[in-house]
Amino acid sequence: MTTHHEANWAPLWDTDDLAAFLKLPPKTLREWRHKGIGPAFKRMGKHVRYQPADVIDWIENGTDLAA
C-alpha cells in the first residue's frame, strides 16, 4: 500500500495521464485549468504536471467543479 508521503514522490502526471486516470477528455482538464478549478497542477515551462497525491486529495476532499 502506498502512503501519502510515498505518493508525493510518485512520477508526475501530464494532462493525458490524468485524463486517462479520471476517464475524461484532456480538453476537459484544459478547460478546468482555464476556469481555475480542478486538481492542483504545476507549470514546468510550457508543460503542465500533476502530483498524484494532489489529485487524490482533490478527489477525497471534494471537488470544486461548481465554479
pLDDT (0 to 100) of residue 56: 94
Task: Check: CB of residue 29 under 8 Å from CB of residue 15.
Answer: yes
Length of the chain: 67
pLDDT (0 to 100) of residue 64: 67
What is this structure's pTM? 0.78
> How far, in Å, CA of 25 to CA of 29, rounded?
7
> How far, in Å, CA of 37 to CA of 6, rounded?
25
> How far, in Å, CA of 35 to CA of 65, rounded?
10
Chunked in runs of 10, what are the mean pLDDT values of the chain (67 residues)? 61 97 97 94 96 94 69
Q: Which cell goes with 4? A: 501519502
pLDDT (0 to 100) of residue 9: 72
Hey, is 51 helix, strand or coil? coil
pLDDT (0 to 100) of residue 62: 76
